[in-house]
Amino acid sequence: MDRIRITGGAPLEGSIPISGAKNAALPLMIASLLTDETLTLQNVPRLADVQKLFHILANHGVDTAFQGKRTGEDELSGQTVNLTARAIVDTTAPYELVSTMRASFWVIGPLLARMGEARVSLPGGCAIGTRPVDFFIEGLKALGADIEIERGYVVAQARAGLIGNRVRLPKPSVGATHTLLMAATLARGETVIENAAREPEIVDLADCLIQMGAKIEGHGTGTIFIEGVPRLYGARHRVLPDRIETGTYALATAMAGGDVTLEGATADHLERPLELMRLAGAEIDVTNRGLRIRRNGHGIAAVDAETEPYPGFPTDLQAQFMAVMCAGKGTSHVTETIFENRFMHVQELVRLGAKISLNGQTATIEGVDRLKGAPVMATDLRASVSLVIAGLAAEGETEVSRIYHLDRGFERLEQKLSRCGAQIERVSG
Ligand SMILES: CC(=O)N[C@H]1[C@@H](OP(=O)(O)OP(=O)(O)OC[C@H]2O[C@@H](n3ccc(=O)[nH]c3=O)[C@H](O)[C@@H]2O)O[C@H](CO)[C@@H](O)[C@@H]1O
Ligand SMILES: C=C(OP(=O)(O)O)C(=O)O
Shared-domain flag, residues 93 and 200: yes
Q: Do 14 and 27 lie in a common domain?
A: no
The answer on pLDDT for 75 being more than 90 is no
Tens digit of each residue's pLDDT (9 = 90 or more) over 209-237: 999 999 999 999 999 999 999 999 999 99
Say if residue 391 is in the same domain as residue 250: yes
**For 239-264, what is the mean pLDDT?**
98
Of the candidates 214, 238, 262, which is a domain's last residue?
238
Residue 165 has a pLDDT of 98
215/37 Cα distance (integer angstroms): 18
- Kindly indicate the confidence band of residue 1, based on its pLDDT and cuts at 50, 70 and 90: confident
Task: Assign 315 to helix, strand or coil.
Answer: helix
Based on the number of CB atoms within 10 Å of its own CB, is 361 exposed (0-12), middle (13-18) or buried (19 or more)?
middle
Q: Please indicate if the annotation marks 389 as binding a ligand.
A: no
Nearest atom of ligand 2 to the alpha carbon of 23: 9
**Are both 334 and 388 inside the same structural domain?**
yes
Q: What is the pLDDT of residues 121-146, one digit of tens each?
A: 999 778 898 899 999 999 999 999 99
The answer for residues whose C-beta is within 8 angstroms of residue 345's C-beta and 6 or more apart is 319, 322, 323, 379, 382, 383, 386, 387
How far is the centre of ligand 1, averaged over its atoms, from the C-alpha of 330 (Å)? 32
Indicate if 341 and 359 belong to the same structural domain: yes
Q: Is 22 annotated as a binding residue?
A: yes
Name the β-bridge partners of 41: 81, 237
Cβ atoms < 10 Å from Cβ of 225:
16
> Closest ligand 1 atom, CA of 172?
13
208 is annotated as an active-site residue: no
Model confidence over 363-385: pLDDT tens digits? 999 999 999 999 999 999 999 99
Same domain, 268 and 233: no
Q: Which of 408, 410, 411 to mutate to test the pocket of ligand 2 (most atoms within 8 A of CB)?
A: 408
Tens digit of each residue's pLDDT (9 = 90 or more) over 285-302: 999 999 999 998 889 999
Q: Which of 426, 428, 419 is nearest to 10 (CA)?
A: 419
Residue where one domain finishes, among candidates 183, 216, 238: 238
423 and 317 within one domain: yes
Number of domains in the chain: 2
pLDDT for 384 equals 97
378 backbone φψ class: left, alpha, beta (φ>0; ψ -120 to 50): beta
Q: Which of 262, 268, 271 is nearest to 419 (CA)?
A: 262
Tell me the pLDDT tens digit for each residue of 262-273: 999 999 999 999
Burial of 393 (0-12, 13-18, 19+ CB in 10 A): buried
pLDDT value at residue 70: 58
Last residue within a domain, chosen from 216, 238, 260: 238
* ipTM of the complex model: 0.99
pLDDT band at residue 59 under the 50/70/90 scheme: very high
Average pLDDT over all residues of the chain: 96
pLDDT band per the 50, 70, 90 thresholds, residue 77: low
Q: What is the CATH number of the domain that holds 393?
A: 3.65.10.10
Query: Are 269 and 209 in the same domain?
Result: no
Q: Does the beta carbon of 180 sit less than 6 angstroms from any atom of ligand 1?
A: no
**Using CA positions, which residue lies closest to atom 14 of ligand 1?**
173
> Are 362 and 324 contained in the same domain?
yes
**What's the rounded mean pLDDT across residues 300-317?**
98
Domain that holds residue 406: 3-19+241-427
Question: Is the CB of 106 inside a 6 Å radius of any atom of ligand 1?
Answer: no
Q: What is the DSSP string of 108-165?
A: HHHHHHHHSEEEEE----BTTB----HHHHHHHHHTT-EEEEETTEEEEE-TT--B--
Write down the pLDDT at residue 100: 86
User: Residue with the nearest Cα to atom 32 of ligand 1?
Assistant: 174
Residue 429 is predicted with a pLDDT of 78
Ligand 1 binding pocket mutation candidate from 56, 174, 306 (most atoms within 8 A of CB): 174
Residue 73 scores a pLDDT above 60: no
Mean pLDDT of 135-158: 98
Angle subtended by helix axes 243-256 and 271-279, to nearest 10: 10
pTM higher than the cut 0.95? yes
**CA–CA dist 31, 110 (Å, integer):** 7
pLDDT of residue 129: 87
Distance in Å, CA 177 to ligand 1 centroid:
10
> Cβ(381)–Cβ(320) under 8 Å?
no
Of the chain, the percentage scoring pLDDT greater than 70 comes to: 98
